[in-house]
Amino acid sequence: MGLRNRGGKWAYRFNLDGREYSGTTDLDATERNRTKAQDVESTHRQALKEGRNPERRIVVRRFSDAAAEFLEWAKVEYREHPNSARRLAVSFASAVEFFGAEPVSMIDASGIEAYKIWRLTDRKQGDRIIGAVRDITVRHDLHSLSVFFQFAMKHKWTRENPVSQVDIPSDAAATREHIVTPKEEKEYFARAAKYPDLYDTARLIYLQGMRPEEVTGLAKADVNIERGQLTIRSGKSKAARRTLTLTAESKSILAHRIAKKFGPWVFPSKRRPGQPITRVNGLHDKVLAAALKDGISLNFVLYDFRHSFATRAAMAGIDIATLAAILGHGSLRTIMRYVHIGAEHQKAAMLEIEQAMTAEQGRTQ
């Protein structure tokens, strides 16, 4: 019997038929537990002798506690891509609310389905109505849970990944294709004007095609008003790290903000360098809710201003390669998801092509 203390738990190691086997008993390494630990080792050895595959017992862990440990792991695992860790944290805020203290091992496919329906349905929380989320959000939430359950399986908190048995919204169903119309733009910014952080964030996304976190994570040192440029120094890919030329309105917005006392940041924040950005999504939701109360539907998210920038740039004749560089995409295939050319623009383009072809034919006759 080869018991040893590993990390405060009894672990064992033995040889059988020329092969070494080891494992942990998950029992605290105390003298009181020594006999129980030896029994675990004996059970493992006997199962191998009988040709069976011994299963280590499941460790009962509350979802809320397991989620906290998982998110700490994610911070380290995704330290090169901090936005990925932040997205996991955002998804898990709702998951922890839903599953709470339920043991991880007790969450099955039906529980994941219930969570999915809960996210896709309006619900009441006190005096507030929490609106249903979009398919794209549910897709992110379920993918986050899938990563979590893979982590949980390694820790023996569960034996399976129940998310694998649930239908996840497809790319086609989850992709947002809303392009902000001029009328929506005018209405939105008129209402957002009362929230300067939101207004400036949305305008910069719309004017520069930046990601929301790229805007609110800007450091003053990365903006050069005289040259009319800003530099994005971090991102999930080499293409995301880029220098952009500012529009006149963007320069005005940034010059005004740089003059404010927000420390080293363009937007107010208590964070240390590289930590989470200023949150403006709550203000965005307030604007949409107030508009709906007045009978005006503004059904889009901040990221849709980036889609709108890409589509209008393409319609203005900007070539896809240049647009990819502006948006920070290394793949031309990826950028096509952002560009939604309207029927009228396509019709006008075909007329230009037809005229060019007709002229070419006339020259060759």
Q: Give tens-digit pLDDT for 238-264.
A: 888 999 999 999 999 999 999 987 688
Q: Assess contact for 333 and 321: CB atoms under 8 A.
A: no
- Place 57 in a pLDDT band, splitting at 50, 70 and 90: low
CB 312 within 8 A of CB 341: no
Answer whether 0.85 is exceeded by the pTM: no
Angle between helix 196-208 and 281-293 (nearest 10): 100
Burial 139-178 (b: 16+ CB within 10 A, else e): bbbbebbbbbbebbeeebbbeebbbeebebbeeeeeeeee
Per the model's pLDDT, the better-predicted residue between 334 and 235 turns out to be 235
pLDDT tens digits for 277-321? Answer: 557 888 898 899 899 888 898 888 898 999 888 888 887 878 888
CB neighbours of residue 294 within 10 Å: 8
Which of 104-118, 268-282, 316-330 is least confident?
268-282
Residues 6+ apart with CB under 8 A from 236: 81, 83, 84
Fold classification of 63-174 is DNA polymerase; domain 1 (1.10.150)
For residue 97, give the amino acid letter: E
Domain boundary assignment for the chain? 3-49, 63-174, 182-269+277-335
At 194, the amino acid letter reads K
How does residue 274 score in pLDDT terms, banded at 50, 70 and 90?
Answer: very low
The string of DSSP codes covering 72-85 is HHHHHHTTT-HHHH
CA distance 141 to 268: 28
Q: Give the integer Cα–Cα distance in Å for 354 and 348.
A: 10
pLDDT surpasses 80 at 122 = no
How far is the C-alpha of 267 from the C-alpha of 217, rounded, in Å? Answer: 7
Fold adopted by 182-269+277-335 = hpI Integrase; Chain A (1.10.443)
| Residue-by-residue DSSP string for 89-153 | HHHHHHHHHHHTT-BGGG--HHHHHHHHHHHTS-EEETTEEEPPPPHHHHHHHHHHHHHHHHHHH
Helices (H), the chain: 31-49, 63-77, 82-99, 109-119, 135-154, 171-174, 182-192, 196-208, 212-216, 248-258, 281-293, 304-315, 320-327, 332-335, 343-364
What value does the CA radius of gyration of the chain take, rounded to a whole number of Å?
Answer: 27
The token pair at 106 is 């007790």
Task: Give the pLDDT confidence score for residue 90 in this predicted structure.
Answer: 85
Dihedral (Cα; 143, 162, 91, 187), 10-degree rounding: 70
Instruction: Place 131 in a pLDDT band, splitting at 50, 70 and 90.
Output: low
Give the tokens for residue 362.
């006339």
